[in-house]
Structure 1
């Protein structure tokens, strides 16, 4: 198993970004795990507690409710959504990540598949009651962050919700970081540009040492 080297990781990501290939490096992270989902360095190995809390407090009584998970990683959040009765599509651009999910959850009801956020099937547009986005936008550069946000918003059917979890930063800070956290102005573009309604917004620091600031926001398409 290859040991995670944060310096080499950031150098690799920057090289791909400079070559206008912003997602070409993703699969290597999962390949480095060599078939062990526990070895994926960014995997929490449990669903987001903020996602679970929202699902518990906002039950959806539709019998055919659909959810989609952006960049599903090793599957924890997708499985949580399935437990709450959603028909779940969970995709990642990495085939290796999808293999890890299928091996980890051989009897899952989740539809795990390889797909590209920038070129997903047309039938997905305006087709989901809940969209979960965790940490995808922040690993993208420049114009791809805008495209990603718009692609995410376009997945929402009427009255649907998108839950956005990400690292955060103050305006004009950490501008060269990898990943690049979202500031308030950027995440607010779900409202100002995509015309979604903000239902709740939480800014918090996690339990790491040192702590890392985050946003957890819920928007609705009206």
Structure 2
């Protein structure tokens, strides 16, 4: 296990024990800002699995990035021509994203996936959920899975990228807690239907099998 993964698991365990399943995200970003921890997903390049989708030009269509962190995927979509809103539950993560991309067209906002703005309902042509739900424990995961689809406009696209369960840590610890096929299928809620659900190779990573799922309304 890398040091950054250990930091995330240490803070997640403490947060879960305190009955706060999402508070560790802010703690992790705040400690990383102060040089006391590392964020394991804070890497320079946009997600390789997002780039592999070879999305068409956005042409000003609205996109929403769930749990955007430092903004690498949000900036990728903006570069494709989407009008991007990107949110994170961590205010420190949003400050980091804004600081790293001071001239960005992305609207970075603090918001909670489990209590999103009502105005976002059916409001986006493209919604990206990448690796967020897999960081949530079972007792709130089922609820969280139903939310990203509510953001998708008629004719829009939901992209779900997540670790799959074909290989998990031997002790079952997390985060991440890889998603089952049934959990991925459950993203097809609120009138969405699946376009494709596949497992893709991510050789060389800690969890080398991943879901790539596309849904539309």
TM-score (norm 2): 0.87
Does residue 169 of structure 2 align to residue 186 of structure 1?
no
Shift, 1:105, TM fit? 0.5
Q: Which residue of 1 aligns with 2:87?
A: 91
Q: Which runs of 5+ in 2 are unaligned?
A: none
For the 8 Å contact 1:171–1:184, the answer to whether it is kept is no
3-state SS, counterpart of residue 45 of structure 2: coil
Q: Is the 8 A contact 2:11 2:27 kept in 1?
A: no
In the alignment, the residues of structure 2 paired with residue 30 and residue 140 of structure 1 have an alpha-carbon distance, to the nearest angstrom, of: 16
Question: Contact between 2:197 and 2:213, CA under 8 Å: does it hold in 1?
Answer: yes
Alpha-carbon offset, residue 64 of structure 1:
4.1
Q: How well do the aligned residues superpose, as a CA RMSD in angstroms? A: 2.6
Structure 1: 5+ residue stretches without partners = none
Alignment partner of 2:98 out of 92, 96, 102:
102
Q: 2:18: which partner in 1?
A: 19
Give the match for residue 42 of structure 1: 41
Q: After superposition, what is the alpha-carbon deviation per residue over 1:57-83, rounded to whole angstroms, capped at 9, x for unaligned?
A: x445xx541000000011110001111
Question: Partner of 1:157 in structure 2?
Answer: 153
TM-superposed CA distance for 1:176, in Å, is: 3.6
Query: 1:120-131 to 2 correspondence within 5 Å?
Result: 120-131=116-127
State the aligned residue count: 213
Other structure's SS at 1:163 match: strand
Q: CA deviation at 1:170?
A: 4.0
Deviation at 1:13, TM superposition (A): 1.2
Q: d(CA) in 2 for partners of 1:139 and 1:211?
A: 13
CA shift at 1:117, angstroms? Answer: 0.7
Aligned to 1:220: 216
Q: Tell me the distance in 2 between the aligned counterparts of 1:219 and 1:173.
A: 29
| CA shift for structure 1 position 174 | 6.5
SS at match of 2:23: coil
**Normalising by the residue count of structure 1, what TM-score does the alignment of the two structures yield?**
0.85
| Contact 2:125–2:157 (Cα < 8 Å) also in 1 | yes
Per-residue CA distance 1:94-145 (angstroms, 9 max, x = gap) = 1111111111110000001111111111100110000001111011112311
What secondary structure, in the 3-state scheme, does the structure 1 residue paired with 2:187 have? helix
Residue 76 of structure 2 is aligned with which of 70, 80, 86? 80
Q: C-alpha displacement at 1:27, in angstroms?
A: 1.2
Q: Do 1:205 and 1:211's aligned partners in 2 also have CA atoms closer than 8 Å?
A: no
